[in-house]
Amino acid sequence: MNKLVKSLLASVALSATLSAPVLAEAETAVNLDQLLKKLEQGQLFQNQQNKERESEFLAKKEQQVQMLNDAAARRNQLVQRSEQLETTFEENEIHLADLSNTLNNRMGSLKELFGVLQQVSGDMKGKFQNSIISAQFPNRDVFLDELAQKMGKSSKLASVEEIERVWFELQREMTESGKVVRFNAPVVSAETGTKNEQEVVRVGAFNLVSNGKFVEYVQQTGSLAELARQPSERYLDTASAVQEQRGELVEFALDPTGGSILGLLVQAPDLKERVEQGGTVGYVILAVGLVGLLLALERFISLTLVGGKIKRQLKEPTAKSDNPLGRVMKVKDENPNADSETLELKLSEAILREAPKLARNLTFIKIISVVAPLLGLLGTVTGMINTFQAITLFGTGDPKLMAGGISQALITTVLGLVVAIPTLLLYTVLNSRSRGLVSILQEQSAGIIAERAEQGE
């Protein structure tokens, strides 16, 4: 019995949850009669709610039907409008095709003319962008670009004024390319990076010169700037001459490519940069060559002074000790009673004592003339090793990676030959002069022996 009561109470609680407004105000049942009464009241309340909802739905049914009919009518109108637009579109396409055919027939050869005009405008735009004449007449390419786009994308025809302007710009480019013109323009200094207003000389469509220096036209910014590296002095002299002289013929280093050759020329390394390309071996070769040159200079001065003293000694009968010949002649005076054989031996001893002084350092000069090309060969081998290492790591796709090793290989060979050739020539000249002085000593010694032999007889 208790279990039945608990089940009924659970059912009542569930019904109370579904009909919250009524059951929330009802009191908790304490017996079966009260529970049955409360269930009956809740069922009556639910039936009443269902009837109200059904009435509300039936009342709105006609409204839903009306909305459905309106939507169907709207759809039919849009379908009819779509069919009308499709018909109009097809008629417009046919009409547009007829108009295009009529336009083509009426244009005739003019269509080819405008096609050529569009092509010429595009070609002239690229030429004007790279032309140094644009430094004096800027923004010429903007008009040509707009004209080409107008005729290309929108298929619009050019006006008579636009055709005449294209003609004018083309004629002005040809005319200005044969003139030497002076005008003022801002130029960026290569040293300070500042922009200064100064006179610029334009030589046709080839070169720009300002303050005795070559100037380049920067296409991206439309400005003028001095070349970071200028060519050699002989070219700069011509630049100064064309800027200083007015109305006179002067020599000028003209670049017919408009700056390409000049750009390659200034990139060529100078003497200092070529020496630096030789690396450590190149500096060693130059140091050895400098030592050889100093030794040769010292020997040349010394042998010249000694030769002059020997020549003066030949003209004087009295022997002097400030020159080799005088010291050799003193041997005769110091041995007045010696026979010819003894005197010959003493004179030979004196000559042998003087000969090393005359030939001093000549051996080192000769060694330097032999070692210099060997050092150059060493640098060549080292440079080729670096080149092959670069090829192993990066392949042969980029020649710049191999340029360092190749430069070292070639420059060191050149430096070795540059040192060896003049050093060998200097050694030959100095050795000949030294031998000539020794020959004079031997000749005079032979004369002294012959004189002593005659006296003995």
Q: What is the pLDDT of residues 190-215, one digit of tens each?
A: 888 888 888 888 888 888 888 888 88
Whether the pLDDT of residue 159 is over 90: the answer is no
Q: What are the residues facing 295 on neighbouring strands? A: none
Residue 43: the pLDDT is: 65
Percent of residues, the chain, with pLDDT higher than 90: 13
Q: Exposed (0-12), middle (13-18) or buried (19+): which is 33, by Cβ within 10 Å?
A: exposed
- Helices 362-394, 279-315: inter-axial angle, 10-degree rounding: 170
Whether the pLDDT of residue 367 is over 90: the answer is yes
Whether the pLDDT of residue 424 is over 50: the answer is yes
Q: What is the pLDDT of residues 52-91, one digit of tens each?
A: 777 777 777 777 788 888 888 899 999 999 999 999 999 9
Nearest Cα to 286, choosing from 195, 420, 196?
A: 420
First CA to last CA distance, the chain:
184
pLDDT band (50, 70, 90) for residue 254:
confident
Contacts 24+ apart (CB under 8 A), 315-320: none
Contact 132, 258 (CB under 8 A): yes
| Rounded mean pLDDT, 161-179 | 86
Q: Exposed (0-12), middle (13-18) or buried (19+): which is 398, by Cβ within 10 Å?
A: exposed
Nearest Cα to 384, choosing from 402, 357, 370, 372?
A: 402
Residue 402: the pLDDT is: 66
Residue 107: the pLDDT is: 62
Phi, psi of 207 (to 5 degrees): -140, 155
| Rounded mean pLDDT, 121-132 | 82
